[in-house]
Amino acid sequence: MSKIKVLDEQLANQIAAGEVVERPASVVKELVENAVDAGSTTIDITIEEGGLSLIRVTDNGGGIEASDIQTAFQRHATSKISTSSDLFRIASLGFRGEALPSIAAVSRLTCVSADSNSGLARKLVIEGGHITADEPANAPQGTDMSVKDLFYNTPARLKYMKSIQTELGHISDYINRLALAHPGIAFTLKHNGSTLLRTMGTGDRLQVIAAIYGTSAAKAMLPVSASDSDYELTGYISKPDLTRANRNGITVVVNGRYIRSHTVNQSLLQAYHTLLPINRFPLVVLELGMHPGLLDVNVHPSKMEVRFSKEAELRALIERAVREALVSQRYIPGASTGG
Binding site for Mg ion (CB under 5 A): 34, 94, 99
Q: Which of helix, strand or coil describes residue 81?
A: coil
Cβ of residue 105: shortest distance to ligand ADP, in angstroms?
A: 12
Residue 62: DSSP 8-state: S
User: Among the candidate windows 7-15, 78-86, 233-241, 292-300, which touches ligand ADP by CB under 6 A?
Assistant: 78-86
Contact partner, 26, from Mg ion, ligand ADP, none, Cβ < 5-8 Å per class: none
Number of H helices, E strands in the chain: 9, 17
How many Å apart are CA 166 and CA 164, to the nearest integer? 6
How many Å apart are CA 283 and CA 217, to the nearest integer? 8
β-strands 142-148, 186-191 pairing: unpaired
Asked if 75 is part of the footprint of ligand ADP (rule: CB under 6 A), the reply reads: no
3 and 21 Cβ atoms separated by less than 8 Å: no
Contact partner, 79, from ligand ADP, Mg ion, none, Cβ < 5-8 Å per class: ligand ADP
Smaller CB separation from ligand ADP, 79 or 192: 79
Q: What is the largest CA-CA distance in the chain?
A: 79
Smaller CB separation from ligand ADP, 30 or 319: 30
How many Å apart are CA 68 and CA 285, to the nearest integer? 37
Asked if 95 is part of the footprint of ligand ADP (rule: CB under 6 A), the reply reads: yes
User: Among the candidate windows 54-62, 178-186, 218-226, 313-321, which touches ligand ADP by CB under 6 A?
Assistant: 54-62
Cβ of residue 317: shortest distance to ligand ADP, in angstroms?
A: 30
Smaller CB separation from ligand ADP, 96 or 260: 96
Asked if 144 is part of the footprint of ligand ADP (rule: CB under 6 A), the reply reads: no
User: Among the candidate windows 2-10, 32-40, 117-125, 183-191, which touches ligand ADP by CB under 6 A?
Assistant: 32-40
Q: Which of helix, strand or coil describes residue 53?
A: coil
268 and 63 Cβ atoms separated by less than 8 Å: no
User: Among the candidate windows 61-69, 153-161, 212-220, 238-246, which touches ligand ADP by CB under 6 A?
Assistant: 61-69
How many Å apart are CA 184 and CA 100, to the nearest integer? 25
Query: How many chain residues interact with ligand ADP (CB under 6 A)?
Result: 22
Smaller CB separation from Mg ion, 177 or 320: 177
Contact partner, 62, from ligand ADP, Mg ion, none, Cβ < 5-8 Å per class: ligand ADP
User: Among the candidate windows 95-103, 254-262, 306-314, 323-331, which touches ligand ADP by CB under 6 A?
Assistant: 95-103
How many Å apart are CA 332 and CA 316, to the nearest integer? 17
* Near ligand ADP by CB under 6 A: residue from 34, 172, 238, 243: 34
Asked if 154 is part of the footprint of ligand ADP (rule: CB under 6 A), the reply reads: no
Q: Describe the strand order of the beta sheet including 108-114 as a list of residue ranges.
A: 130-137, 121-127, 108-114, 142-148, 54-59, 42-48, 186-191, 194-198
* Near ligand ADP by CB under 6 A: residue from 63, 128, 183, 282: 63
E-assigned strands of the chain? 42-48, 54-59, 108-114, 121-127, 130-137, 142-148, 186-191, 194-198, 221-227, 231-238, 243-244, 250-254, 257-259, 281-282, 284-290, 295-296, 307-308
* Near ligand ADP by CB under 6 A: residue from 21, 25, 27, 38: 38
Beta bridge partners of 284: 237, 250
Smaller CB separation from ligand ADP, 98 or 319: 98
How many Å apart are CA 126 and CA 73, to the nearest integer? 9
Asked if 227 is part of the footprint of ligand ADP (rule: CB under 6 A), the reply reads: no
User: Among the candidate windows 91-99, 204-212, 264-272, 322-330, which touches ligand ADP by CB under 6 A?
Assistant: 91-99
The residue ranges that bind ligand ADP (CB under 6 A) are: 30, 34-35, 38, 59, 61-64, 72, 77-80, 94-100, 143
